[in-house]
A and B are shown apart, each in its own frame.
Chain A
Amino acid sequence: MIDEAERLPCGARLEELLAQVADGAPPQDEAHQSGCPYCQTALRRLRRAWTDVTDLASEPVNVPERLTAQIMARVRVLVGQTADFILLGHPRGETRVSHTVVVRITQRLARTIPGVVFASARVEPQNSPLPNRVDLSIRLVVTFGPALHRVADAVRTIVRRQTPRLTGAQLDHIDIKIDDITR
């Protein structure tokens, strides 16, 4: 049995030798260790034993196939509980479209523009008597190359044209912020 305070007959602490093997830490007393049969034997055995631990650590772990979907289903339930809606009036009933849906459609549209790597949108509250009228703010990450204002204009154009067509929302302001560029 190994005791954590155990020392080898030469006085070297096993714990220090193990840190040397596991962490690649330098020896406490290199001159002693290189010529000490006790230390050399212990190091050999520790290295052999520790190889099994590193083998286990490098063993691939397969994430359950539907884990992302399960997580996101639970998150979307939470989002649905708190999301606001735009209201589309109709003589025979009303239709509500979640802000989350407006946002996701806007993001997808923005990401179709060449140069847009990432788009995140948000519906901004508006004090409008029209329940389907909203402002949008969009944040982008764009590749290096295209003129940023042209990318922003293209995003604004497609969103202004397509988001109302697909969601029934009426858009007022579309503010765009470019957060970062990538290679």
Chain B
Amino acid sequence: MNGQVEDSILVRAAQNGDVDAFEELVRRYQTSIYRVALRMLGSRADAQDAVQETFVRAWRALPRFRHDSAISTWLYRIVTRRALDRIASRRSTGTLDEVEVEAGPDPAQAAEHQERLRAIRRAIAKLPPDQRAALVLREFEGLSYQEVAQVLGASVPAVKTRIHRARLTIIQQTSSWQ
């Protein structure tokens, strides 16, 4: 199966019980969904669990999917709720996994850069969950304010406020600003 087949056809097939079509949807969206979970939860193990729960829930709920939004929006909604539930129930480990990045030509500069990125990750992990979700969807997934509002079930002005607050907090933590 390849990218020539539109999502809507795969979704309809999956709604009819086609497991292969659903697997193709998983392959298409697991990276985005995992990225959201990882940025919100800060732990690979938690993110992996949240992504599995997301797709299992999606499979169960597919018969009720009405095609009134993109499948990606619907999946973002599920993973965001899963991540927020995990944060609320404190099942998240609260520790941040480091991402291994190859050192560039100047190791000292690369180390300094990595330290700045770590500071941002730490700052994101400390954000209130609703701000964290909005920021991750906007800055890491590139969703529009409208799309973020749709995913989070909030108004656009409310989402803008959350994102602005989150941005200010993040900037405050960066050494480049201080």
Segment 32-65 of B: residues with Cβ below 8 Å from A: 34-35, 38, 44, 48, 51-52, 55-56, 59-60
The segment from B66-74, B150-158, B167-175 that touches chain A is B167-175
Could you say which of B44, B139, B140, B174 contacts A49, with CB atoms under 8 Å apart?
B174
Give chain B residues whose Cβ lies under 8 Å from the Cβ of A121. Answer: 18
User: Nearest-CB distance from A119 to chain B (Å)?
Assistant: 9
- The verdict on A179 contacting chain B, using a C-beta distance below 8 Å, is yes
A21 to B2 alpha-carbon distance, docked (Å): 38
Residue pair A61, B99 in contact (C-beta under 8 Å): yes
A180 to B139 alpha-carbon distance, docked (Å): 35
- The verdict on A166 contacting chain B, using a C-beta distance below 8 Å, is no
User: Nearest-CB distance from A41 to chain B (Å)?
Assistant: 12
User: Nearest-CB distance from A79 to chain B (Å)?
Assistant: 6
Q: A52-B120, A52-B174 are in contact. Are A71 and B34 (CB under 8 A)?
A: no
A22 to B48 alpha-carbon distance, docked (Å): 29
Give chain A residues whose Cβ lies under 8 Å from the Cβ of B5. Answer: 117-118, 141, 180, 182
Residue pair B56, A74 in contact (C-beta under 8 Å): yes
Residue of B18, B55, B172 with most chain A CB atoms under a 10 A cut-off:
B18
Residue pair A57, B139 in contact (C-beta under 8 Å): yes
Give the residue name and chain of the B residue nearest to A123 (CB): B17
- The verdict on A147 contacting chain B, using a C-beta distance below 8 Å, is no
- The verdict on A45 contacting chain B, using a C-beta distance below 8 Å, is yes
The segment from B22-30, B76-84, B86-94 that touches chain A is B22-30
Residue pair B21, A120 in contact (C-beta under 8 Å): yes
What is the size category of the interface that chain B forms with chain A? 35 or more
Residue pair B171, A122 in contact (C-beta under 8 Å): no
Residue pair B176, A45 in contact (C-beta under 8 Å): yes
A124 to B15 alpha-carbon distance, docked (Å): 14
- The verdict on A51 contacting chain B, using a C-beta distance below 8 Å, is yes
Give chain B residues whose Cβ lies under 8 Å from the Cβ of A182. Answer: 4-5
Residue pair A141, B19 in contact (C-beta under 8 Å): no
Taken residue by residue from 65 to 95, chain A's Cβ proximity to chain B (1 for < 8 Å, 0 otherwise) reads as 0011011101110110000000000000000
Residue pair B17, A45 in contact (C-beta under 8 Å): no
A67-B48, A67-B51 given; name 7 further pairs at CB < 8 Å.
A53-B174, A61-B31, A75-B19, A100-B17, A103-B18, A118-B4, A183-B4
A-B contact pairs, 6 of them (CB 8 A): A45-B177, A67-B51, A100-B19, A118-B13, A141-B4, A182-B5
Residues of B participating in the A interface, judged by any CB pair closer than 8 Å: 1-2, 4-6, 9-10, 12-13, 16-23, 26-27, 30-31, 34-35, 38, 44, 48, 51-52, 55-56, 59-60, 99, 101, 113, 116-117, 120-121, 139-140, 164-165, 167-168, 170-172, 174, 176-177
